Every structure is written in structure tokens, then in C-alpha cells.
A and B are shown apart, each in its own frame.
Chain A
């Protein structure tokens, strides 16, 4: 356990110092850390799901606080919480199905109990549904009819009256099973995150056509893989890369693209509007996708999106599922941007004179935001690892991945 704690501390430290960059790397590190947290967590007999959830939440809070701008951390923590809840749910339903069979053959007491229990539960379902604006009760949930909040008291009460012997045996196996299942689920998530590039790239052929001109901005691994996948399928097309000032990551992307044999042109960010009329499609990688379908991307993206809108060029956003954030951008608690060092813009030595000299003279201020927000109405299409989606569908997609109880950690 101290081992896990030191790992957590180390990761928190890295996040704080902004040493890990890129949402995929961060997401992957986060899941791996959470997996070891779960595997080291001792689970009590009763209420094991809650224990796991508490442990993950505690770590998750630290991680999110360490770098609130990196939304992928929060997303992944919520995903893991969701996995725990889901696994717990499926286990209890399985157990309940077993119980139901027993009940049918056995006594009426349980039937009565169920008679009282079910209406109460359905009330809870409705309440939960009403509480969550995000997630309307899906058909499956309604059919299965056991939200997790109601499940635990139910199992314990049913266990209390009826077969205590079989229950204890059942429970220990259940414990082991839950943890095992959760780790399985987390492993799947890891695979999903590391495989998201390929998943997205597979769809490239459907979107990029012969002799098209594609514009992109900044550097994104997903975009790189996407374009290369199309190239491998013998599509020939040209790519314009806006350099993405002030960090000029576009230069790196262009270098990589040329190395992979694509026709590449580098333009300045300010030339985007001039070039957009020759462009058939804008493809960018997102930093995060908000629940309303808005996109957080590298600075300058909004400008490209507006240009695309003006010229009716499709604006396509590539995002792995770990980038889907269940939060809304108008929430003041959500930190969407970060101001980096002005030294990326200006040479400190040269400008040190006009920075703060004398209160009387005007002083120079430099603002260097990292991200840009693109409102959903400017986005034509999201391509995630599950396929292409409309911006208006994002909330639904997000509801599949996250549990409404975890939105506020």
C-alpha cells in the first residue's frame, strides 16, 4: 500500500510540474495507476464496490487537483468508477437472478419483501433519473431496474433474512469476482486507450478521398495516424499544416508527414483564412470534447473552425474516447485553459526593458493561452474510436461511458 501511495505521489508531482504532456499519455498513466490502486485495495466483505469507489475517488481527486487543465485525468477516473459500478451491478443482478430462482421455489417471505422492495426501488430509479440531467435512464437500466444506490441495502436485507450460510460463501467469491472483473474492465480500458489511434485511423478511408486537400493545425498523433492510414490505402491527397504558434508543433507534424511520404505544405496560422477556399476538409485533434459537443483544442483552432464554417468546409474533430469529458464548458469550476510562459512568444532578454520599468510608463503584458474553445455549432463531425458522430450526439455517447453519480468528484 505505501508503494501505491508513493506511486500516486510521484504521478501527482509529475502532473503538477506539467511534465506529462498529451492527453493520451496522461490517460494511460492514470489508468495504470488506478489499476494498481484497485489491485492493492483491501476490500471488506460488505459493500466492496463502495470501498473500491472510495479508494479510486480519493486518488482521483488528488490527480485532478494536480492538473485541473488536463481533463483526460478526470475522464479516466470517471471511466474507472463507472466500470466498478457496472461490474458491481452485473454481479448483483446475476446474484439476484440466482436468488429469484431460489425464491420462486422457497418461501413467501422473500416475495413479500420483494413486494415492498421493488416499488421503493423504482422510486429510487425515478429519483436518480430526475437528478441526472445528463443521463436519462437507458432502456437497459429500466429493464434491469437496479440502480446501484438501491442495490446494496437490498442485497444485505435479503441476505439477512434468508440463507446466511450460502450467502457468506457467495459473498467471498463475489468479492474476489468483483475485483477481478473490475481489473478486467480496466485492462480493457487501457487497451482501448492505447488502441484508439488505430480505431480512428481505420475510418480514414471513408472520409478522405482522392486528390483532396486537408488542413490541420498544430500537432496531434491521432491526426498523424489518420492521415497516414489514408495514405497507406493508396489515397493521394495534399495536407496543409498550420504551424500552431507559439509552440510550432505543426512543424514537427509536417516533418513526420513528409517522412511518411505525404504531400505537405506548412502555412502560418494567420494564413488559414486565405487558404481555406482550397481546402476540402479540416481535420484537427482535440484536447478534450465537452458534453455539449464543444471542443478544446490547441490555440488557433477556433479561428480555423470559423474559417471552415464561412467557406462551408467540413470541420472534423478526431478524439479518442478518453477525451470525452462529461462536464459542460460553462461550468465555472471547470478549468479550460492554461496560460503558459510568455517566453514562448517573446525573448525575455530583449523585452525585459519594457516589462515593468517604472509604474508611470506603460508596461508590456504577454498572454499565452494553451487552448482554444470551439463551440459545437462549428463542428461538422466527431470521429471517435466507435465511429463518426454528430456534435449533438456527444452527450448521449458520454452517458454510455460515465455514471451520473461521478460527475462531481
Chain B
């Protein structure tokens, strides 16, 4: 006894001298990729090779030496808390519940707020992961590195884990581009998906490592400043899209992010969509995640027995002798498999009963599923309690949510998602969140189920089935459905992609790519500089016209429109002559577009419009040059619109009458045009008489003055 106490006493100061390691696990994905499954169960509790995902994360964090884990729950928090209480980590884990959070940003802000109310919360550096991370990398070294760097450089607040990876398609994630300083490992650029647009200085600086063959593991070591940064910038939602980008681009208080490339012998992946669910499951079966594999009881689970050809089998699973169970298959406790079945590359949960002559390939069958004789299941996810009646076929990519019943001989079409719950009305998806449903409560769910059973005749899954087939409504993700499904990527798609990557193959060489490949900011401007006006002027003119039309419709007076047009002018970098031209153009367009039967009517329209908005035009035509521009513009327009040709002289005259165009301008225009080609002189000739009259008038005036 005495010796024991001494030992304990010896242990305490050691614990105090060392800073406690803490981790925040975000147990909500804040997206809809796993719907409809996540309507009934939080994503982190979905079984991954028969063990809830979060158990992998927690087991890893625990063995990496984390002393305290905060699990942030949002959707279905009760289920999650219940699970954590029963697990072996209950002493280690503390839960934080907030139903209001809709993003990682909200979650971290909530944690930050809680920090002040509860005493012992985040005290120092912490590990930030999501609850769907599977990894076996050691963290101690990484945390030490982060702390040392923090000591040297106050501004180094985050270390991000990246990993070399050849094919982004494995996990169905977007293309990732990062630029890293090879010496300090500072992250200089981060872009996931989207257009790559590197700063020129980065591209030219040969010491910077630009690469696109890495993946982001979404494992971060953060200093407490990260929380307060989220608090300060309340619009940050996404950790990468907003926070990282914000730090890199906006240079907030000079904070820096560093990267750590994880050693290739370690495994780290995040389950973000069904494809990565499939890939990571296979990696687990292939033991890349050792020691977090099914035959080791790392989370208090019953270990399965590993047989030949990578087959994991529970000791009490009953299997007919004639059943053919292939390599890389997992069969859970209490599962019975009938005669003549063929099961390959699949995971079958606990308590399932599988009839005779069933074919299961590349599928994930969860717990307590009943599959009757002669069914065929390929590349599907089948959740708890599903019943598949005899002869039914699940085509590749099907997802059957909890307790769905597939009718006899029914064929579920490929890539369909089936749930007992009806799909939400399309447009309530203001934010794509799991919790939208959780608040509804179980009563609602149950009533839905009851209704369904009553009207099961009308079910979409055959006469004796139950469940609604969901439509793929998110058109923006439409082209990506194959990317995120568990079905192997179809050959033609694969060909497309490889072609694309072949084209950009040079980029793969993780050194600085040739300049042509990447568009740098400065480059793009310099190439555009050759022909800046043509396009820009077109846009400008269109914008001005729209503004003008709006103003006319709303009967705005000049004071309101001028600022608008001024702002356009500055944003397009135009001279006031351009404005005058554009406005006049808009006016004449309006005149032409408004209904008219004859030229005289058109003239009347034009004059009334000019009358109405001459103030606006007058604002921009204070100089002779601008007035000439207006006349030239008019000339151009007449070329385009034949209707206006006969009216040219009249309208110019009208403009003169209304003091929009001064005498000098018209005369100057006449002089300029006098030397032009004969074809250009059409309008000049029209105005001959008018100009003559003007000249005479001026001479008369002079005469009068003289006399």
C-alpha cells in the first residue's frame, strides 16, 4: 500500500510540470453529404467497419496522449452523449452542446464564449479535428514542434497537417493547391477547388514550394488565439474557406499558419463523403490504420477474428458451407448467411440475416439488416433495420436509410437515396444542415413512419416496400454525384479526368510550374492591357443603359442617377466623354425600342426622351469634345439602326435647340468630317443645310456685333 501511494505522489508533479493536452472534436459535419442517413443519426455515429466513426477519432487521440477531449455536439446531441457515456472514454471526454451552431465557426465561437463561464476549459494549445477523422499518426512530436515554434514566434498560431497523396479522387475531395516555404514550412497559399490564382511573387520566387499532390488531413494544432480570432471575425464560418484564407489573404495581425507534412508511414484521412467512407473502410480492412483495425479491440468493441485473405469474421457468425465469402470482407456478430451466397469486398454488420443465393458486392450492410433470398446488392450502403425482400435488386450507388423496406422483386435504380422520411421541400435548405431535422423531434418521425405503413401501398419501393426515393436536387453538385458516391468512378468519367490531368501534367511536379500554367494576377492584367477599351466600353455602355432604364422606369430625377453613373465611370475608368456617349446611346436606344409606327412618331419619342433627361446628359457634355462625342455616337447608332438615318439632321437640330450641343461643336464636327470619305459624309450632307444656317447665323451675329 505504502509503495503504491508513493508512486501516485510521484506521478502528480510530473503531470503538473507537463502542460495538459487538449483536443476539440467537432462532431458535426455541417453539410448534407450524408443525407438522408444523417437525418436519423449523427454522422460521427455512423458505423465504419462496424465501429462508430468517432471511436476511431477518440481512440487515436487518447493513444496520442491527449488528456482531455471536448466533443462539440450539434445535431442529434442526445444520441451522441449517450454513446459517449457508455464508451470507455467517458472519463476523458467532455461534451459541449449547442444546437444553434451552423458551422465550425459558430462552434468555435460557442466554445470561446463558454470558456468564460466554465473555469477549466481550453488552457493552451489544442488539437482541432472533426469527429470523422481516422488516423494513427503520433501527435506528441507535432504538438511539441508547434509549441517550440510558438515560443520563438508569437504569431505562429496554427499548424496544419498535410499528407502526400497522388490521387485526389480516392477521397472524392477537391483539388488542393498549397504553397509552402520549404525552410520554415510556413503556409503561403491555400486553395481548395476553384480557380488557382497565385500571386506573382510566389510564382517567381523559386524557393517556394508549390504543390498540388498533397491532401489536407483537417488535423490542426491551434493556439488559443485561434478561438479569439473566430470571435473577432464573426463572419468566419468554414475553417479553411474563411479562416485560413482570411489569415493568408487579409494578413490579420500578422498571424501565420504553418504546415506539417505527416510521415508516409502514418495514416490520416477524413470521411467527408460516401466515397471517402468507402475508401477509408477499405484502408481499415487492409490494415493501413493499424492498430485501429477490426481484430483489435481498441474501443471496447468485440474484436473480430482475422482469417485468410483479409477476411474478418465474428466468432459466432453462422455461414452456410456453400456460401462464397471473398477476400476483404467483414462479417459481424450474430450474422447468419444462407446457402449459395456470394459476398465480396463488403462489410456486414452485427445481427444481420442473409438468405440464400444473395449477391453482395462492394457494399456496406449495417446492423440488423434482413436480406431475403435471391437479392442482389452492388456498391450500396444499407443502414440499420432495413428489410430487403426476396428478389430485390439494388443497383450501384444506392443508399438505403434506416428501416427502409424494399419490396419483392423491386429494382432500386442506381444512385438513388431512399429514406422513410420525405425529402425536405427544396428551398428550405437555406443552410444545408443536419440539425434542421433534429429539432423536429421523434414524435414527428414516428408519425411519418406510421403514415407510411398505412399507405404503404403507395410506397415508391414496390407494393410491400416502405420508403421515399429522394431526388438529387442540388444541381450545383449534380456533376459531382459520381465523385461522392461509393460506386467506383465510371470508366468514361475516369477517362475524362485523366485527360484533364494529363493536360495539366506539368503541374504535378510539385516544383514551381512553368509560368504559363498558372495565371498570376499581374499577368492577367498585362495581357488584357492590349485591348482594354473594346470590351470594357461595351460593358460600361450596357451598365449605363441599364441604370438609365431603371432611372426612367422609376422616374428618378437627375440627382439620383448621376452618382450611379459616376460610380460606374470610375469603376470602368472612363472619361466623361464616354459617359456622355453612353448616356446618349441609352436615350436613343430607348426611343428606338419604344413602340412607334412612323418616323415622325419615332422623332416625337426621341425628342420627349431628350427633353426629359437633357439635364442628365447636360451634366456630362460641358465641353466641346464631349458634345462632339455625342454627335459621333449618334452617327454610329445611325449606322446600326436604319430607322434613325432620316432623323439625323432633325435630332441634331433638336439637340442644338435644347442647348445640349452647342453651335461650335456642330461646326467642329462638320469640319472634321469634311475631309472624310464620301461614304462617311452621308450624315454631313444631311446636315448641310443646318450647318449652313448655323454658319450664317454666326456670321450675322458677328456682323451685328461689328456694327
Residues of chain A at the chain B interface (Cβ within 8 Å): 3, 16-19, 36, 39, 65-66, 339-344, 347-350, 352-353, 355-360, 365-368
Contact B279 A356 (CB under 8 A): yes
Interface status of B488 (Cβ within 8 A of chain A): yes
Contact A343 B267 (CB under 8 A): yes
B46-69 vs A, CB cutoff 8 Å, 1 = contact: the mask equals: 000000000000010001000000
Contact A343 B264 (CB under 8 A): yes
B254-291 vs A, CB cutoff 8 Å, 1 = contact: the mask equals: 00000000001111000000000001001100111111
Interface status of B494 (Cβ within 8 A of chain A): yes
Partner of B264, one of A340, A347, A360: A347
Minimal beta-carbon separation of B347 from chain A (angstroms): 13
Contact A344 B361 (CB under 8 A): no
Minimal beta-carbon separation of A126 from chain B (angstroms): 35
- A3-B4, A342-B286, A352-B166 provided; 20 other pairs, C-beta below 8 A? A17-B298, A39-B1, A339-B287, A339-B290, A340-B290, A341-B267, A341-B290, A343-B264, A343-B266, A343-B290, A347-B264, A348-B264, A348-B267, A357-B169, A357-B488, A358-B491, A359-B362, A359-B379, A359-B488, A360-B491
Task: Please give, as numbers and ranges, the residues of chain B lying within 8 Å of A368 by CB-CB distance.
Answer: 287
Minimal beta-carbon separation of B15 from chain A (angstroms): 14
**A358-B488, A359-B345, A359-B362 as given contacts; A339 in contact with B306, CB under 8 Å:** yes
Task: Please give, as numbers and ranges, the residues of chain B lying within 8 Å of A65 by CB-CB distance.
Answer: 297
* 17 A–B contacts from the bound complex (CB under 8 Å): A16-B298, A18-B290, A66-B297, A339-B287, A340-B287, A341-B267, A341-B287, A342-B287, A347-B265, A348-B264, A353-B166, A355-B282, A355-B286, A357-B488, A359-B345, A359-B361, A368-B287
Distance between Cα atoms of A57 and B311 in the complex (Å): 31
Task: Please give, as numbers and ranges, the residues of chain A lying within 8 Å of B166 by CB-CB distance.
Answer: 349-350, 352-353
Top 5 A-B pairs ranked by shortest CB distance? A341-B290, A349-B164, A358-B488, A343-B265, A347-B264
Task: Please give, as numbers and ranges, the residues of chain A lying within 8 Å of B327 by CB-CB distance.
Answer: 365
Q: How large is the interface on B (under 10, 10 to 19, 20 to 34, 35 or more residues)?
A: 35 or more
Kindly report which residue of chain B lies nearest to residue A335, judged by CB atoms.
B305
Distance between Cα atoms of A342 and B345 in the complex (Å): 18
Task: Please give, as numbers and ranges, the residues of chain B lying within 8 Å of A357 by CB-CB distance.
Answer: 167, 169-170, 488-489
Distance between Cα atoms of A350 and B164 in the complex (Å): 8
Q: Which of B491-527 contact A (CB under 8 A)?
A: 491, 494
Contact A366 B488 (CB under 8 A): no
Task: Please give, as numbers and ranges, the residues of chain B lying within 8 Å of A359 by CB-CB distance.
Answer: 345, 361-362, 379, 488
Distance between Cα atoms of A368 and B290 in the complex (Å): 11
Interface status of B340 (Cβ within 8 A of chain A): no
Q: Which of B627-659 contact A (CB under 8 A)?
A: none
Contact A358 B494 (CB under 8 A): yes
Distance between Cα atoms of A365 and B491 in the complex (Å): 22
Minimal beta-carbon separation of B95 from chain A (angstroms): 21
Contact A349 B163 (CB under 8 A): yes
Contact A352 B170 (CB under 8 A): yes
Task: Please give, as numbers and ranges, the residues of chain B lying within 8 Å of A347 by CB-CB distance.
Answer: 264-265
Q: Which of B304-361 contact A (CB under 8 A)?
A: 306, 310, 327-328, 345, 361
Minimal beta-carbon separation of A335 from chain B (angstroms): 8
Kindly report which residue of chain B lies nearest to residue A4, judged by CB atoms.
B4
Minimal beta-carbon separation of B99 from chain A (angstroms): 33
Q: Which of B1-51 contact A (CB under 8 A)?
A: 1, 4
Minimal beta-carbon separation of A84 from chain B (angstroms): 21
Distance between Cα atoms of A390 and B448 in the complex (Å): 74
Interface status of B136 (Cβ within 8 A of chain A): yes
Minimal beta-carbon separation of B312 from chain A (angstroms): 11
Interface status of B296 (Cβ within 8 A of chain A): yes
Distance between Cα atoms of A3 and B306 in the complex (Å): 34
Distance between Cα atoms of A36 and B8 in the complex (Å): 14
Interface status of B165 (Cβ within 8 A of chain A): yes
Minimal beta-carbon separation of A102 from chain B (angstroms): 37
Minimal beta-carbon separation of B162 from chain A (angstroms): 11
Q: Which of B351-379 contact A (CB under 8 A)?
A: 361-362, 379
Minimal beta-carbon separation of B270 from chain A (angstroms): 15
Kindly report which residue of chain A lies nearest to residue B310, judged by CB atoms.
A365
Contact A352 B167 (CB under 8 A): yes
Task: Please give, as numbers and ranges, the residues of chain B lying within 8 Å of A16 by CB-CB distance.
Answer: 291, 296-298
Contact A342 B288 (CB under 8 A): yes
**A65-B297, A365-B327 as given contacts; A344 in contact with B265, CB under 8 Å:** yes
Distance between Cα atoms of A43 and B156 in the complex (Å): 59
